[in-house]
């Protein structure tokens, strides 16, 4: 009997008519590495392929080995907690300066660009980017002195620009660094485009413990005028509710005047990291609303319910502790099955993870995330 074990309770919100989930990535690939290398069956090195990741093509300083994939990250109540895999951001070749950037497009219908682009022109409002992150070590590698240190390194980026050749406009840059005096402390900040360093420090930053799974949400604000400045901010471990917090946001360089000329996707970067660096990043979601990016868009499940141990799975069969009725949803929130059950329901669903909402004969409601094989 197989069942995905989750920590804590599963927080799920109802699907509404204005749901705006643009992107959901749990790195649930069959390969051991992120699909970003030519000839990988899960990848494409061609621009405008928005179903896969690809290398930005900076062959002069990129390592074609790509990113390794490892176990998923767990963060209590986050809808993508424990799903798929996570990306390992490290230095693949110890003691040398290696770099790789991989990017993935948003679908054409979700791109938010200015005149001449494909997508929604003249977009005003916010876009939210959430992801889980565990940083064991964020040591940096200084190419000038060939030594290892504790400088700022950008690892997650928003890909922007008036062109669809990504890699030339990686902005919305999320940075981490190892504390120079206490390795158990990790610093974080964000900037629209400015690179932070030991000499150019952010004006605002935060910290979190090394080795602890954290949840970050980036808020990108578009102004009312095309190509206007806009803002970029990040918040750590916000409350998982439909209410967007008004405090706790960090902008590491509020004076950065670089414009937003369009959002095309996201990027993950490994650059100038030391031989000891090791981070895991997973569970990326992008949405136009705070509620959609954090609490999900699962139709029919409109309240906080426990991940019930009374709902399990064996192969392609869903098992419940009593008779009743159930609805099954995929992780995009689409209902894929509705049926009565006597406690054992064999399905024809494809292999994967699903959300199940069960109503017993007495009207009691339970829900769980299960794995079907």
Residue 317's pLDDT is what? 96
Architecture of domain 21-295: Sandwich (2.60)
Digit-by-digit pLDDT tens for the chain (373 residues) are 433 333 333 333 333 333 467 888 888 777 777 765 444 444 444 444 445 777 765 544 444 557 888 888 878 778 887 777 899 999 866 555 567 778 777 765 555 654 344 455 566 788 899 999 999 999 998 777 777 889 999 999 988 754 444 445 677 899 999 999 999 999 999 998 888 988 899 999 999 999 999 999 999 987 666 556 678 999 999 998 889 999 999 999 998 887 776 677 888 988 889 888 999 999 999 988 998 888 754 433 333 344 678 899 999 999 999 999 998 877 655 678 999 999 999 999 999 888 888 888 877 778 788 889 9
Instruction: Enter the pTM of the model.
Output: 0.73
For domain 311-372, the CATH class is mainly beta
**C-beta atoms surrounding 137 within 10 Å:** 17
Residue 297's pLDDT is what? 45
Are the CB atoms for 328 and 336 separated by under 8 Å?
yes
Which part of the chain is CATH 2.60.120? 21-295
What is the distance between the alpha carbons of residues 173 and 169, in angstroms, rounded to a whole number?
A: 10
Percentage of residues of the chain with pLDDT beyond 90 = 32
Residue 96's pLDDT is what? 59
Which part of the chain is CATH 2.60.40? 311-372
Angle (CA) 126-129-131 rounded to 5° is 160
């Amino acid at each position: 009997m197989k069942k995905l074990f989750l920590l804590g309770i599963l927080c799920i919100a109802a699907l509404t008519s204005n749901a705006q989930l643009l992107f959901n990535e749990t790195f649930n690939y069959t390969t051991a590495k992120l699909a970003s290398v030519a000839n990988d069956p899960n990848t494409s090195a061609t621009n405008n392929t928005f179903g896969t990741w690809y290398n930005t093509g900076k062959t002069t300083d990129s390592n074609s080995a790509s990113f390794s994939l490892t176990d998923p990250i767990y963060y209590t109540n986050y809808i993508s907690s424990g799903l798929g895999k996570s990306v390992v951001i490290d230095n693949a070749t110890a003691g040398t300066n290696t770099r790789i950037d991989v990017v993935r497009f948003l679908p054409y219908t979700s791109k938010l660009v200015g005149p001449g682009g494909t997508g929604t022109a003249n977009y005003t409002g916010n876009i939210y980017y959430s992801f889980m992150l565990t940083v064991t070590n964020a040591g940096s590698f200084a190419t000038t002195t060939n030594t290892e240190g504790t400088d700022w390194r950008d690892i997650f980026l928003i890909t922007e620009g008036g062109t669809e050749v990504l890699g030339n406009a990686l902005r919305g840059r999320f940075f981490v660094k190892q504390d120079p005096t206490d390795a158990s402390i990790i610093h974080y900040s964000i900037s629209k485009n400015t690179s932070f360093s030991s000499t150019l420090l952010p004006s605002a930053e935060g910290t979190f413990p090394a080795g602890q799974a954290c949840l970050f949400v980036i808020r990108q604000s578009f102004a009312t005028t095309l190509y206007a400045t806009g803002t970029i901010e990040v918040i750590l471990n916000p409350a998982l509710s439909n209410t967007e917090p008004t405090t706790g946001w960090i902008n590491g360089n509020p004076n950065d005047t670089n414009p937003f000329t369009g959002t095309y996707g996201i990027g993950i970067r490994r650059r100038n990291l030391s031989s000891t660096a090791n981070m895991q990043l997973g569970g990326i979601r992008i949405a136009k609303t705070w509620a959609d990016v954090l609490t999900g868009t699962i139709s029919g499940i409109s309240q906080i319910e426990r991940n019930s141990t009374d709902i399990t799975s064996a192969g392609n069969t869903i098992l419940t502790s009593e008779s009743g009725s159930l609805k099954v949803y995929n992780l995009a929130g689409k209902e894929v099955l509705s049926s009565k059950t006597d406690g054992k329901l064999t399905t024809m669903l494809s292999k994967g993870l699903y959300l199940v909402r069960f109503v017993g004969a007495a009207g009691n409601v339970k829900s769980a995330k299960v794995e079907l094989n």
